[in-house]
């Protein structure tokens, strides 16, 4: 079956990693019609708009997007395009699986956890204003509707993926109303899932437990901001941002992207690790029911990682982004079903 997929290459290392992953997918036997759109800094310079409407229209038309990272100016400039895509398309659930990969040694073993991040509200609502000179108010929005919806997603995901426990992460000791509402909503959903254990941790303590004993965690459920921060921490447990994928999921639209950003320090050098985007693409293939091809690519990726001969610099190697992808591609050809 031929798939139409919106492709957004993004900024910084985005064009390098998307190009590499698209090359691999195109060689995998899949028939994909890439609907190439762009958004972000380069697009804003060209057209004056960081997120042209045609990008959103393309995702609505195709239902699925593969997306590179997009730069967000710090402290000034346009609002985050990443946040705007998630919010305007109602991609309310951000799923970030984090697990040890073969051959990648870190101080931690048996890490196999899922970060579920609420994707549409919290401090990402973009509601900020200067009250008087020198005083700024940033509004944190938490609603029962969005909290219940993400809780429903997390518990259903746990149930259908043989996960045993959901841990809600919060700061309701301080934000008694906002995080309190999040927790109340999660608890009332959790009561319906009798076969899934449920517990709660305050976000600061959760960070400590994560870096001391990450294998104790199963599914983590967090509001938007804590989810953003904790998922980078979790990436560090398994070898870094070059290795962790994500899916932004709505009721009938989905955008798949790496957890990492545009990595301006290595952009344009072919030093980026494309594994995170490749694993995101594999989540996308499962979403499209292309399970056999996804499994074939994952086996080849794992073989290359395990052998350790071809590695990008973040993992201590000297291979370029393209050489790493070529090694996976060769491995796929060697093991191609005949
Ligand atoms: P970053 O994730 O871009 O980089 C943090 C560190 O991780 C850097 O040292 C970078 O070299 C390294 N790194 C990231 N991805 C890598 C990869 N694939 N291979 C090897 N090393 C990698 O985070 P930073 O610097 O905080 O953000 C840079 C820009 O990216 C900002 O404008 C930010 O807003 C944007 N961003 C975009 C995201 C998205 O599009 N979903 C997510 C996170 C940040």
Confirm or reject: Cβ of 275 under 6 Å from ligand 1: no
User: Region 301-309: what's the mean pLDDT?
Assistant: 97
Confidence of residue 28 (pLDDT cuts 50, 70, 90): very high
Residue nearest atom 31 of ligand 1, based on CA coordinates? 71
Confirm or reject: Cβ of 260 under 6 Å from ligand 1: yes
Confirm or reject: Cβ of 261 under 6 Å from ligand 1: yes
Give per-residue pLDDT as tens, 255-271: 999 999 999 999 999 99
CA distance 67 to 50: 14
Confirm or reject: Cβ of 70 under 6 Å from ligand 1: yes
Q: Rounded to the nearest whole angstrom, what is the distance from the C-alpha of residue 220 to the centroid of ligand 1?
A: 22
pLDDT at 338 over 70: no
What is the SS3 assignment for 31-61?
EEEEEEECCCHHHHHHHCCCCCHHHHHHHHH
Q: Rounded to the nearest whole angstrom, what is the distance from the C-alpha of residue 240 to the centroid of ligand 1?
A: 11
Check the CA dihedral 81-82-87-88 and report its sign. Answer: positive
Q: Rounded to the nearest whole angstrom, what is the distance from the C-alpha of residue 252 to the centroid of ligand 1?
A: 28
pLDDT at 284: 98
Q: Which helix (H) or strand (E) holds 19?
A: helix 14-27
pLDDT at 41 over 70: yes
Choose which residue among 263, 270, 305 to substitute to test ligand 1 binding: the one with the highest number of ligand atoms within 8 A of its C-beta.
263
Confirm or reject: Cβ of 81 under 6 Å from ligand 1: no
Atom of ligand 1 nearest to the CA of 266: 11
DSSP secondary structure string, 294-305?
Answer: HHHHHHHHHHHH
pLDDT at 1: 87
Choose which residue among 261, 279, 305 to substitute to test ligand 1 binding: the one with the highest number of ligand atoms within 8 A of its C-beta.
261
pLDDT at 47: 87
Q: Name the nearest CA neighbour of 93 among 232, 251, 201, 230.
A: 251
Q: Rounded to the nearest whole angstrom, what is the distance from the C-alpha of residue 192 to the centroid of ligand 1?
A: 38
Confidence of residue 85 (pLDDT cuts 50, 70, 90): very high
pLDDT at 194 over 70: yes
pLDDT at 77 over 90: no
pLDDT at 253 over 70: yes
Q: What are the residues whose beta carbons fall under 8 Å from the beta carbon of 172, sequence distance 6 or more?
A: 179, 180, 182, 183, 202
pLDDT at 159: 98
Residue nearest atom 23 of ligand 1, based on CA coordinates? 261
Q: Rounded to the nearest whole angstrom, what is the distance from the C-alpha of residue 262 to the centroid of ligand 1?
A: 4
Tell me phi and psi for residue 18, to 5 degrees.
-70, -40
Residue nearest atom 39 of ligand 1, based on CA coordinates? 69
Q: Rounded to the nearest whole angstrom, what is the distance from the C-alpha of residue 338 to the centroid of ligand 1?
A: 40
Confidence of residue 334 (pLDDT cuts 50, 70, 90): confident
pLDDT at 337: 64
Residue nearest atom 40 of ligand 1, based on CA coordinates? 69
pLDDT at 17 over 70: yes
Q: Which helix (H) or strand (E) holds 278?
A: helix 275-287
Q: What are the residues whose beta carbons fall under 8 Å from the beta carbon of 27, sequence distance 6 or more?
A: 329, 332
Residue nearest atom 24 of ligand 1, based on CA coordinates? 261
Confirm or reject: Cβ of 227 under 6 Å from ligand 1: no
Q: Could you tell me if 81 and 40 are in contact, meaning their C-beta atoms sit under 8 angstroms apart?
A: yes
pLDDT at 75: 84
Confidence of residue 193 (pLDDT cuts 50, 70, 90): very high
Residue nearest atom 38 of ligand 1, based on CA coordinates? 261
Give per-residue pLDDT as tens, 108-153: 999 999 999 999 999 998 899 999 999 999 999 999 999 999 999 9
Confirm or reject: Cβ of 241 under 6 Å from ligand 1: yes
Q: Could you tell me if 4 and 10 are in contact, meaning their C-beta atoms sit under 8 angstroms apart?
A: no
pLDDT at 149: 98
Residue nearest atom 6 of ligand 1, based on CA coordinates? 263
């Amino acid at each position: 079956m031929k798939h139409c997929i919106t492709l957004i290459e993004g900024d910084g290392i985005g064009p390098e990693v998307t190009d590499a992953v698209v090359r691999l997918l195109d060689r995998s036997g899949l028939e994909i019609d890439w609907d190439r759109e762009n958004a972000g800094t380069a697009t804003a310079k060209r057209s004056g708009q960081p997120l042209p409407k045609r990008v959103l229209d393309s995702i609505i038309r195709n239902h699925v997007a593969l997306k590179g990272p997009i730069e967000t100016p710090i402290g000034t400039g346009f609002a985050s395009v990443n946040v705007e895509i998630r919010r305007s398309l109602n991609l309310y659930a951000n799923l970030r699986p984090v697990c040890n990969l073969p051959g990648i040694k870190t101080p931690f073993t048996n890490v196999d956890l899922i970060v579920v991040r609420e994707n549409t509200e919290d401090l990402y609502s973009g509601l900020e204003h200067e009250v008087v000179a020198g005083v700024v108010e940033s509004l944190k929005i938490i609603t029962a509707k969005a909290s219940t919806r993400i809780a429903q997603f997390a518990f259903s995901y746990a149930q259908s993926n043989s996960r045993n426990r959901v841990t809600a992460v919060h700061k309701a000791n301080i934000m008694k109303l906002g995080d309190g509402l999040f927790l109340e909503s999660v608890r009332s959903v959790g009561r319906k899932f009798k076969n899934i254990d449920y517990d709660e941790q305050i976000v600061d303590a959760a960070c400590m437990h994560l870096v001391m004993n990450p294998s104790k965690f199963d599914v983590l459920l967090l509001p938007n901001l804590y989810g953003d921060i904790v998922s980078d921490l979790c990436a560090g447990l398994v070898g870094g941002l070059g290795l962790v994928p994500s899916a932004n999921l709505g009721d009938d639209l989905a955008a798949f992207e790496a957890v990492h950003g545009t990595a301006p320090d290595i952009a344009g050098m072919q030093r980026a690790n494309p594994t995170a985007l490749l694993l995101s693409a594999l989540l996308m293939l499962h979403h499209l029911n292309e399970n056999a091809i996804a499994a074939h690519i994952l086996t080849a990726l794992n073989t290359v990682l395990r052998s350790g001969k071809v590695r990008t610099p973040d993992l201590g190697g000297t291979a370029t982004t393209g050489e790493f992808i070529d090694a996976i591609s060769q491995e796929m050809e060697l093991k191609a079903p005949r």
